[in-house]
Structure 1
Amino acid sequence: MVHFRARRSAPELVAPARPTPHEAKTLSDIDDFSECRYYASAIDFFSHDPTVDNLHPARSIVAALAEALVYYHPIAGRLREIPGGKLVVDCTGEGVVFVEADADVSLEELGGQPPYPCAEEFVCAGVVEGGSGAVVVVGRPLFYMQVTRLKDGAFVLGFQVCHVIADAAGVTQFIGAIAELARGEAHPSVSPVWEREIFKARDPPRVRHGVYPAYDPSSPSRTVLGDHDDVDDPMLSTPTEEMVGRYLRFGPKEVAALRMHLDAAQPCTTFELLTAFLWRCRTAALGYRSWQRVRLVLRVDARGNRRCKLDPPIPRGYYGNAVLRPMAEAGVEDLCSRPLGHAVGLVRKAKLCATEEHFRSMVDMMASARMAERLVASRRVFHVSDLTRLGQADKFNFGWARRVGGGLPRIGISSFLMACKNEHGEDTIVVPMLLPRHATERLAKEISMWVGDKFVIRSSM
């Protein structure tokens, strides 16, 4: 892999291009849940269009960013905490952070799929993100963007966003608006919608029994999620310096091999298949005891979800957090000794639980758990999200630049299924995973036993 350092300009605050309302906006009970109080990051790669001359990508994008903030003016504000632990957005128009940078590396040298070399050079330095303990989000900019020009004329767009203000679909909508304005559109094609009150807890709250296994509303000061048995949990006991991020790649060959282990009559999506398979392999690699229980949390977008028909429905343009978290639970022996189809069935059952009542019950739970000191007592919970439909070329269309790839600059506790192309141009699913160093070899062996070939796990460095 190549090694390089980005030459960054001094950070500048970019305010909305025109005056915007000064007001306080209340967040939903999902937005200000403590698990969202961190900065999420992503990087996207754009090739150079040789037919466009003398275009400065950073200057074009920063002008479009200022214009987009007119429509998305809460993102230019600052968070403030009010009594009860709730957050509000003060729409002050202070702006977001923008950094221009250059790097002596070409798009070809970066490769076509993660892990990308020196990926952290493509995002603003000094932004504390998730997975590093308590993260301060109050009083800070909510969005950071860095545009890095490469030596071949291509560029990399890296951003960090406070998860309180938007989820993955929401920030994709915001970046898409910036791209539209940068290519000369008069206004975004999708008008942003705030309406955070649609995800307000019921009064009184009605948390459905079983919305999460081991949910204990009687002791919110101690734990809400978890089962009080962190003993022998390597995800908690392993020192930080021994935790490593790794990338798993599943192309058509690997997916086809896994489907051979299923009953032909059992329908399942690629997401269900890979999620169930990785849950099982990760559990075995971490060496949990046969009598212990493990959990899987799916992060499912409620927008357009056929099972979760909210009333009123989520309006088009809503960019706040709108993610369901259905959970599956199984004993280690039950999960790892039975056929793969059993694990797939557990995943499908969890997805079918993503109903409106589940969603409303989840919002009630999050509101009651807002001030909890510990939310996840055990990391024997595997978090998985499907991002294969986000960040596609048609969503980030600058007109004068084409998106050719992207991913995460660093790996956190959650795993994501991301779509990309492999070296043969085939559709590939890439899954980042955080593990204790000693478990990575066992994970590779577990996967290899199923796909029928030696499975290579890529380092994040």
Structure 2
Amino acid sequence: MSSSPLIFTVRRFQQELVLPASSTPREVKLLSDIDDQQGLRFNIPFIFVYRHEPSMEEKDPVKVLRNALSQTLVHYYPFAGRIKEGVGRKLMVDCTGEGVMFIEAEADVTLDQFGDSLHPPFPCFQELLYDVTGSELIIDRPIRLIQVTRLKCGGLILVINFNHTMSDGVGIKQFMDTWAEMARGAHQPSIQPIWRREILMARDPPCITCNHREYEQVLPPNNTIKEEDTTTILHQSFFFKPSDIAALRLLVPFQCTTFDIITACFWYCRTKALQLEPQDEVRMMVIVNARSRFNNNHSPQLVGYYGNFFAYPSTVTTAGKLCENSLGYAVELIRKVKTEVTEEYIQSVADLMVIKDRCLFTTVRSCIISDLTRAKFREVNFGWGEGVYGGVAKGGAGPFPGATYIVPHKNAKGEDCFMLPICLPSQVMKRFAKELDHILDNQS
């Protein structure tokens, strides 16, 4: 990115509702008891950036995307409905066919002006997604909010607010792939979407059978809690080159994944930067896709399932133990907690949600991390080729700034690396950057 902040203006046309291209079933569909937990009741923005494509010169990207979206909504018709809340805070989709909110826009800027390496935080992001529906409101609102912005150079930026109660990362990618297929001329999705949310409903009677430390109710201390000072929150992305990963591996005396290494490093540096007391408990919640953990002999085939199908088991230790031990200590905790997610574990979460009023996960001295490296959002191709960037628009998740993602990224030198977009108060962010530099510099 350039050293001086990029400022530009966006001219928006009248927002409109895009409806399914043909009639769709009018019905009410229940979300699963994994979908409607409090921790997923928010919208998460994704951004897709494309260069000018000479072969698409005669095609208006707004028209192409709008028409393809209308066709996609025939297959994903619940997205054209509205979320309702019933007895016991149960969420459901009223499939009304009212449509998704769509905004056409133009910006007086070229893609080159964004610099060599596009990544969060994006300049003037509020210009690229006009929040007409209220980003934290999900009941009786359009389930999708989309803005397509043409750039002066012929490139385009697509930003979408996804309602997290409807889909996880796998489901979002599936929807985007179908939309892109329709834009390129397909008439049917290559993967047919399936609803089947009943497979993740609580049992009758519900019964919590596993230990879920991610939902423990922890009271914040009376003293100032540094991580929740949201008045000075900064967004910043950190990058791990192959040489950085190799350097970090030297700190761990056993084999582990790149995800484990980056997660441990993030947890360690963040905890050090927060300057907690040694006895303070800290927790790391790891998003685990549970599709492969299910016994398909007892459940329907899950190909095409676009709902939330994950858990975030929590490993807990003290700030003192985490910061005084080697990085291998954190890696071992993370490796162990990932193995906890089984079919029974997911079922136990669904039961817990019914018993505990769809409670929020523990937010005190907590962080959550999700691996988006396999999703390959950059490969979503509407006809303008692979994206310059495709993925989350920022760190944090809804009202919780402690969430981050491991995102594949290609830097200005063309190196494949990993990006970690995070949110922290400004002074804590400075200390985080210093801690990370210290670890990497000592190994180089």
Tell me whether the two structures share a fold, i.e. TM-score over 0.5: yes
* Offset, 1:177: 0.7
For 1:378 and 1:165, how far apart are their aligned partners in 2? Answer: 22
Which of 259, 269, 272 aligns to 1:271? It is 259
Residue 441 (structure 2) aligns with: 452
Which of 414, 424, 431 aligns to 2:420? It is 431
Cα offsets for 1:267-316 (capped at 9, x unmatched): 1111110001110110110011001110010112223x3x5546415511
For 2:334 and 2:228, how far apart are their aligned partners in 1? Answer: 27
Decide which moves more: 29-38 or 60-69. Answer: 29-38
Which amino acid is 2:81 matched to? G
Q: Is the 8 A contact 1:113 1:421 kept in 2?
A: no
SS of 1:343's equivalent in the other structure is helix
Q: Is the 8 A contact 1:105 1:150 kept in 2?
A: yes
For 1:275 and 1:35, how far apart are their aligned partners in 2? Answer: 20
Which of 122, 130, 155 aligns to 2:128? It is 122
* Offset, 1:211: 2.4
Residue 381 (structure 1) aligns with: 366
Correspondences of 1:93-242 after superposition (within 5 Å):
93-111=97-115, 112-115=117-120, 116-129=122-135, 135-212=136-213, 224-232=215-223, 234-235=225-226, 237-238=228-229, 240-242=230-232
Cα offsets for 1:428-448 (capped at 9, x unmatched): 211111112111221122111
Provide closer, same or farther for how the CA distance between residues 270 and 313 of structure 1 changes in structure 2, counting only shifts above 3 A.
farther
Provide closer, same or farther for how the CA distance between residues 230 and 391 of structure 1 changes in structure 2, counting only shifts above 3 A.
farther
SS of 1:75's equivalent in the other structure is helix
* Offset, 1:18: 0.4
Which of 2, 9, 27 aligns to 1:5? It is 9
Residue 33 (structure 1) aligns with: 37
SS of 1:316's equivalent in the other structure is coil
* Offset, 1:371: 5.2
* Offset, 1:237: 4.9
Q: Is the 8 A contact 2:34 2:350 kept in 1?
A: yes
Cα offsets for 1:297-340 (capped at 9, x unmatched): 0112223x3x5546415511111111111111111111111111
Q: Is the 8 A contact 1:228 1:378 kept in 2?
A: no
SS of 1:388's equivalent in the other structure is coil
For the pair 1:417 / 2:423, whether they are aligned, the reply is: no
Residue 132 (structure 1) aligns with: none
Correspondences of 1:82-93 after superposition (within 5 Å):
82-93=86-97
Q: Is the 8 A contact 2:290 2:343 kept in 1?
A: no
For the pair 1:251 / 2:241, whether they are aligned, the reply is: yes
Q: Is the 8 A contact 1:257 1:452 kept in 2?
A: no
SS of 2:262's equivalent in the other structure is helix
For 1:325 and 1:237, how far apart are their aligned partners in 2? Answer: 21
Tell me the matched-pair count. Answer: 432
Which of 327, 334, 345 aligns to 1:347? It is 334
For 2:124 and 2:220, how far apart are their aligned partners in 1? Answer: 38
Higher helix share: 2
SS of 2:373's equivalent in the other structure is coil
Provide closer, same or farther for how the CA distance between residues 345 and 210 of structure 1 changes in structure 2, counting only shifts above 3 A.
same
SS of 1:295's equivalent in the other structure is strand
Correspondences of 1:394-413 after superposition (within 5 Å):
394=379, 396-412=380-396, 413=401
Provide closer, same or farther for how the CA distance between residues 284 and 363 of structure 1 changes in structure 2, counting only shifts above 3 A.
same
Taking every aligned residue pair, what percent have the same amino acid on both sides?
38
For 1:69 and 1:150, how far apart are their aligned partners in 2? Answer: 26
* Offset, 1:407: 3.8
* Offset, 1:360: 1.3
For 2:408 and 2:353, how far apart are their aligned partners in 1? Answer: 31
For 1:300 and 1:398, how far apart are their aligned partners in 2? Answer: 29
SS of 1:51's equivalent in the other structure is helix
Q: Is the 8 A contact 2:84 2:140 kept in 1?
A: yes
Residue 250 (structure 2) aligns with: 260
Tell me the C-alpha RMSD between the 2 structures: 2.0
Provide closer, same or farther for how the CA distance between residues 274 and 377 of structure 1 changes in structure 2, counting only shifts above 3 A.
closer
Provide closer, same or farther for how the CA distance between residues 256 and 166 of structure 1 changes in structure 2, counting only shifts above 3 A.
same
Q: Which runs of 5+ in 2 are unaligned?
A: none
Which amino acid is 2:349 matched to? M
Provide closer, same or farther for how the CA distance between residues 237 and 144 of structure 1 changes in structure 2, counting only shifts above 3 A.
closer
SS of 2:387's equivalent in the other structure is strand
TM-score by length of 1: 0.89
For 2:336 and 2:53, how far apart are their aligned partners in 1? Answer: 46
For 2:344 and 2:178, how far apart are their aligned partners in 1? Answer: 33
Q: Is the 8 A contact 1:33 1:367 kept in 2?
A: no
For 2:106 and 2:218, how far apart are their aligned partners in 1? Answer: 48
* Offset, 1:174: 0.9
Residue 360 (structure 1) aligns with: 347
For 2:228 and 2:102, how far apart are their aligned partners in 1? Answer: 38
For 2:59 and 2:70, how far apart are their aligned partners in 1? Answer: 18
Decide which moves more: 406-415 or 13-22. Answer: 406-415
For 1:377 and 1:261, how far apart are their aligned partners in 2? Answer: 30
Which amino acid is 2:243 matched to? K
Which amino acid is 1:37 matched to? R
Which amino acid is 1:334 matched to? K
